[in-house]
Chain A
Amino acid sequence: MILLIMSVAIYGLIVSDNLIKKIMCLNIIESLVILTFLTTGYQERAVAPIITDIVTNYVDPIPQALMLTAIVIGVCFNSLAIAITVKVYYKYHTIKVSELHER
């Protein structure tokens, strides 16, 4: 399922003419990558990795800790990308890649 959605997002990233759609496709790709990592740490009937005397079976904390950082980076990217896209629109009056001439 992840591979299928990833393929659709990559297709969208390549063929889409709209900058906002491209940013959305990149978002989907990044979210899927994060989801994949989280599943590697998943265990059946395991609890959150807060270690006490009672808890013995807990999920791997590494993917969770790392992906939390990746999510923050993703949010930063989104806000920056959308802000710059607004600037692109104000300057060039379009956000279509085919119309954005470089010089």
Chain B
Amino acid sequence: MNVRYLIILFPLLPLIGISLSLLVKYLTRKDISTLMIISNAVLQLLTGAYLFLYFRNYEGLYVVVLSEWKHAIEFSFDQYRIFFLLAFLIPSFFTLFHYRKLTDFNIRTLFLFYMAGCSGLIVTGDIFNFYIFYEVMIMAAYVLISVNRQYYASIKYMIFGAASSAIFLAGIILLYASGSYFSYSFLMNLGEYNPTNIHFVFLLFSVAFFIKAAFFPVSGWVATCHSATNGLISAFLSSFTIFSGIFGLFYFVILPAKSLGFDNILLFIQILSLLTMVIPALILFFEPDFKRCIAGSTVFTIGFIGLLLSSGAWYLGLFYMAVHAFYKSYLFLLYDDLVIEKLKIYGNIKTIVLILIAVGFTVGFIPSIPYFIKYNFLIGLNYLKLINYVTLALMLGSFLKFSYKTGKIKVKSLSYIFFPVILAVFYLMIPFPFITSGYYLILDLMILFLAAFGARALFEKFDFLCCLDTRYIYINMNYELLYIVILIILQIMLLRLNY
């Protein structure tokens, strides 16, 4: 089959599903939305698998233009986007086992809208359609977050989403006013054209994507919003939606800034990424809620991926993002099979073992894939190694302060059996040497020992720091919104230094 049609078909599949389920509902009063969700997931998995295999060694940008007009709608695909595709396909696969979490017709229809937005984001070829697909995705997500009646989380997500979208739209305007086109092919080779006032466009785009991807200090909403809903939607939000911010940052800021030689912007992203690793890890250490710990740990991963991408380690960063989708989805889905009493977590032995493996991946402990990504990146970067060990200790402590107990608790899901299969596929895909040294292994084991025996005691000794984020840093939503303005001011100061 022609890949051109598959690229166009990919976001159309959920839209066809919505149309059919609405049509059948109105004509016959029958609800086929569950069937549509399952068939859409299967078809998207097959289409996605074909696109993955086709583009895994593809050089350059594959562009599909819908008409001959110079501003026509474009779809495109390239080698980097297979990782975003994987980050979307992994939670899509779990939809096949957890679709019962979507309890009624309206929620299922909205979920299909959400899927349409996500899949459109992956294949879109121009920046304005990126904005539109993002809005389709996020509008559905606003409502899906409130399925457990956590309306405050929903409105918080809406306000941050709208603020970032307004900034992004302002950036699109300035981009157009500077004489640029909207297509990815133009933006990726911006160095050849060098449009006027492009540094202000980067300012607006980077701030918009710092909010969307939850870089520190605008990361306070993640724990609240991603932990508010059910496991399946949380898995999608923290595996793909939040990384659409990284997607935008990579395509609209990092790649063009690199081609124009704007090193200060990349340096700013590196500094912000380091802060996004360290401070959220500290906040997480004093977080008493396990689900908020799972949600909050995404921010730490975003920090490290931001650092990798802004340092030029694109494949490592994007591969890390795809692996993150795997373990984060499992953590959220397994959470629903746990019984939690304060700091004690009870579960089936299988659930607890898988949770602990996924925690190992979250913190980047040996022999997880994030460990080897870190090891390959940190060779020769001594100051980063220190930060890595501090964050490793904090992250391990934040999960090991809970005590895990096994018991005869009924396991509801079939997705457990696919854990080793997906894990094996990722290990086979590793695009870098699978190496480590004994010295680092001993250091990691020492940190594990410290975290296992000291984290709980430290957490209880400094109980006044419990809920560090909501108590001291993000006291209410107004403080969080103020941090956006601070980010803009910092970026303007950076630009003044640059010119």
Contact = CB atoms under 8 A, between A and B. Distances in A.
The yes or no verdict on A and B being binding partners is yes
A73 B163 contact: no
Contact of A22 (B146, B154, B159): B159
B132 A69 contact: yes
Contact of A14 (B132, B143, B224, B482): B482
A98 B165 CA distance: 25
A15 B158 CA distance: 17
**B143, B153, B159: most-surrounded residue (chain A CB, <10 A):** B159
A77 B154 CA distance: 12
A58 interface: no
B149 interface: yes
Given A88-B151, A102-B224, A103-B289, A77 B169 contact: no
Interface range for A:
35 or more
Contacts of B163: 13, 26, 29
A88 B152 CA distance: 6
Contacts of A29: 163, 166
B169 A84 contact: no
A24 to B, nearest CB: 12
B441 interface: no
A98 B176 contact: no
Given A80-B139, A80-B142, A88-B151, A97 B170 contact: no
B468 to A, nearest CB: 13
Contacts of A70: 131, 169
Nearest to A17: B478
Nearest to B162: A26
A40 B151 contact: no
Contacts of A77: 139, 158, 162
A75 to B, nearest CB: 11
Interface in A3-36: 10, 13-17, 19, 22-23, 26, 29-30, 33-34, 36
Contacts of B152: 88, 92, 100, 102
B35 interface: no
A66 interface: yes
**B151, B152, B166: most-surrounded residue (chain A CB, <10 A):** B166
11 contacts: A17-B478, A26-B162, A29-B163, A33-B166, A62-B176, A69-B128, A69-B132, A73-B132, A84-B143, A84-B146, A100-B477
Given A26-B163, A33-B170, 14 more contacts: A14-B478, A14-B481, A26-B166, A33-B173, A34-B169, A77-B162, A80-B143, A81-B159, A84-B146, A85-B155, A88-B151, A97-B476, A97-B478, A100-B152
Interface of A: 10, 13-17, 19, 22-23, 26, 29-30, 33-34, 36-37, 40, 62-63, 66, 69-70, 73, 76-77, 80-81, 84-85, 87-88, 91-92, 97-98, 100, 102-103
9 nearest CB pairs, A to B: A37-B173, A87-B151, A88-B151, A97-B477, A73-B135, A26-B162, A14-B481, A29-B166, A84-B155
